[in-house]
Amino acid sequence: MKTLILKRLCFVLPQLVLVAAVVFVLLRILPVDPVDRIAGQFATPELRAQVEEELGLDRSLGTQLGSYLAGIFQGDFGTSWLTSDPVREEMVERFPLTLQLITLAFFVALAIAIPLGRASAAREGSRVDKAAQSYSLFAGAQPDFWWGLMFLFLFFFKAGILPAPLGVLTPGRQAPDEITHFILLDALIRGQLGVFVDALRHLALPVITLAFVLTGPFTKMTRQSVLSVSKSEYMLYADATGLSERAMKRSLLRNGLAPVLTLAAIFFGFLLGGAALIETVFTLNGLGLYAVQRMLVVDFPAVQGVVVWMTAFALLMYLIMDLLYAALDPRVRYSE
């Protein structure tokens, strides 16, 4: 297991540096002049030169890139051109909300998809199986932002059982003092149950929206994986030797979950960047919405910081999933 961790870590750092460098260069070759955006199109040459110096654009591209990469290794993602605040502080403020949203959606999706996929595989060809397959194909092919609007129409506008999409808390309700930067955890730690319930109700619709779309591929992968394992030679041999039904089910679940974890890691990394649409629909001030807003105002340091931050977190998730995969399947450990 230690060898596996070291090998994976050897790939993480070069990938992160490569992504940071590529994003930095691509932003600089876009047909957009950030100096015009800040100083104005009719700025004097003196003012343009002053703005370029303040933004660090008066240096060569290689010098700018070297300084940026050196800053990243020190935890410095630069200063926002829009607010003049450190990009790291702005991301730390918004990332917990995005992470809470995605994590809750994943737990809900897996809690539904794994039992549904197992039930579908256990009754292959039955009505339950056909219904589960139809649902997985339908849910997996839907755009999440459209369903977000539909759920808003049903649960807020029509039924009125969930709150309006006005952020993570009801306007006027004070957020708990930050400890972990995760509002649900902070509310529980501070003993503010009302704030916890209010935040959970505001997160319910975006979580349901993402979970609805995620359960499609998760259910399909669970079904296929369980069917493949149940028909494998080692499971047939275990059945022939008289292994107990409980042990058979435990082995079936353990071996069948490995591909689902791989798929979950891929989707988790994908949703880190794709959550911007859901955050926009439900007015959640998360990292995805932050990236979209800063791209529109040509705030290059903020956009670079978000991409590198999300890449680092996605690579971390892939590493964790690799370790879980190795824990479930010893053949991965022994092959390293």
Domain membership flag for residue 266: yes
Q: What is the pLDDT of residue 331?
A: 61
Q: Which of 36-40, 126-130, 171-175 has the lowest mean pLDDT?
A: 36-40
Mean per-residue pLDDT, 247-252: 75
Residues 283 and 140 in one domain: yes
Residues 192 and 291 in one domain: yes
Q: What is the pLDDT of residue 77?
A: 92
Domain membership flag for residue 82: no
Domain membership flag for residue 241: yes
Q: What is the pLDDT of residue 206?
A: 93
Residues 150 and 296 in one domain: yes
Domain membership flag for residue 130: yes
Residues 286 and 198 in one domain: yes
pLDDT digits (tens, 9 = 90+) for 119-157: 888 888 888 888 888 888 888 777 888 888 999 999 999
The sign of the torsion formed by the CA atoms of 63, 67, 73, 75 equals negative
Report the C-alpha gap between 166 and 94 in whole angstroms: 16
Mean per-residue pLDDT, 31-42: 80
Going by pLDDT thresholds of 50, 70 and 90, the confidence category of residue 328 is low
pLDDT digits (tens, 9 = 90+) for 199-247: 999 999 999 999 988 888 888 888 888 888 777 777 777 778 877 877 7
DSSP 124: T
Residue type, 118: R
Q: What is the pLDDT of residue 265?
A: 77
Domain membership flag for residue 80: no
Report the C-alpha gap between 334 and 29 in whole angstroms: 46
Residues 116 and 49 in one domain: no
Q: What is the pLDDT of residue 330?
A: 62
Q: What is the pLDDT of residue 192?
A: 92
Residues 69 and 95 in one domain: no
Q: Which of 39, 73, 107 is the last residue of a domain?
A: 73
DSSP codes, 240-296: HTT--HHHHHHHHHHHHHHHHHHHHHHHHHHHHHHHHHHHHHTT---HHHHHHHHHH
Domain membership flag for residue 86: no
Domain membership flag for residue 285: yes
Cα→Cα distances 45→29, 40, 41, 81, Å? 21, 11, 11, 20
Q: Are 304 and 77 in contact (CB under 8 A)?
A: yes
For 88, residues 6+ apart whose C-beta sits below 8 A from its C-beta are 75, 76, 77, 305
CATH of residue 292's domain is: 1.10.3720.10
Q: What is the pLDDT of residue 332?
A: 57
Domain range for 57 is 2-73
Residues 298 and 235 in one domain: yes
Residue 20 predicted with pLDDT over 60: yes
Residues 149 and 245 in one domain: yes
Q: Are 260 and 293 in contact (CB under 8 A)?
A: no
256 versus 186: which is more confidently predicted? 186
Give the H/E segment covering residue 141: none
In the structure encoding, which two tokens stand for residue 271, read together?
Answer: 């949703």
201 versus 53: which is more confidently predicted? 201
Residues 49 and 153 in one domain: no
160 versus 142: which is more confidently predicted? 160
Residues 208 and 309 in one domain: yes
Residues 118 and 36 in one domain: no
Q: Which of 4-18, 145-159, 285-299 has the lowest mean pLDDT?
A: 4-18
Q: Are 165 and 150 in contact (CB under 8 A)?
A: no
Q: Give the SS3 label for residue 129.
A: helix
Residue 257 predicted with pLDDT over 80: no
Give the H/E segment covering residue 191: none
Number of domains in the chain: 2
Q: Which residue has the tokens 């100096």?
A: 35
Q: What is the pLDDT of residue 56?
A: 85
pLDDT digits (tens, 9 = 90+) for 74-111: 889 989 998 989 999 999 999 999 999 999 998 999 89
Q: Which of 73, 108, 131 is the last residue of a domain?
A: 73
Cα→Cα distances 137→106, 216, 278, 319, Å? 18, 6, 21, 29
Domain membership flag for residue 247: yes
Residues 14 and 66 in one domain: yes
Q: Which of 44, 73, 102 is the last residue of a domain?
A: 73
